[in-house]
Amino acid sequence: MKKLATLLALVAMVGMANASDFTQVGYTAEPGEVIGGGLDECTGTLVYNHDYTFENGYAWQYGGVEPPYYGAFAEGFAQDAANIQCVALWLTDVGYYMGGPCDVYVWEGGVSGMPGAVLTVMTGVDPGAPAFWPSISQHDVDIPDYSFAGGEMTVGYWGDWPGMLTQWYCAADLDGFGGNPWTNLAPGSSYGTGWTDPSVVWGTTQSMGLGFYWDMGTPAESATWGSIKALF
């Protein structure tokens, strides 16, 4: 009965949020299971800034989504020279998924300043049906191989549904190690226009559920930026 009441409350909250250009699944103090993805092509080292638990999920919809990538979510990284082969998305849903699509990007910058020029993009991606909140699913996207020279880079996606209801939510880590989360505000937003920290819209956010696989051409142990930070 308690679970049913919680679900009904969540559905009611999301229904009210649909009238605006931004929405969220709602905070949970007990994050759900993370369901692993994994493409055979994505064999490098997986890097991310979150702590592998997610307390909320964010999305833009209706007027908050405009070409070329207003309404995008992204996460910035400082990375040595490497071959970027895949991008990982941690997503969730409350029943709106209808098959995508989205465009998956790598931008320059994103750590000391906002993301800059597009380095590579894979368009028309259907990541597959996300897990149902509060569970989260990992979706690996094989992108055109990009030889990154080193420095700052940002990975993320733009949901290709201008003027429409969101199809899924980007997982958000609210209490992890901390990273470089970004979202791109559409013109006319009451919060401004362009890249900004999602904390401005949804409240304190440590990092987004976004990462990437890199390969230097030699075998490497599976590791994550989050797990490396946890050692210190």
How confident is the model over 19-43, as a mean pLDDT?
A: 87
pLDDT at 26 over 70: yes
Asked whether the CA dihedral 71, 35, 142, 214 is positive or negative, the reply is positive
How confident is the model over 133-144, as a mean pLDDT?
A: 95
Give me 41's structure tokens. 């092509």
> Average pLDDT of the chain?
86
Q: For the segment 202-212, what is each residue's pLDDT rounded down to a tens digit?
A: 999 999 999 99
Q: Which residues contact 102 (CB under 8 A, 6 or more apart)?
A: 125, 126, 127, 157, 158, 159, 160
Q: How confident is the model at residue 173 (pLDDT cuts 50, 70, 90)?
A: very high
Q: Which residues contact 57 (CB under 8 A, 6 or more apart)?
A: 24, 25, 91, 92, 133, 136, 169, 170, 171, 172
How much is the pLDDT for 195? 98
pLDDT at 224 over 50: no
Give me 19's structure tokens. 């009238």
Q: How confident is the model at residue 36 (pLDDT cuts 50, 70, 90)?
A: confident
Give me 102's structure tokens. 């989205």
How much is the pLDDT for 59? 98
pLDDT at 120 over 50: yes
Spans of all domains in the chain: 2-229
How confident is the model over 77-104, as a mean pLDDT?
A: 95
Q: How confident is the model at residue 49 (pLDDT cuts 50, 70, 90)?
A: very high
How much is the pLDDT for 217? 55
How much is the pLDDT for 216? 72
How much is the pLDDT for 41? 79
Q: Tell me which residue of 89, 161, 71 sits closest to 131, measured CA to CA.
A: 89
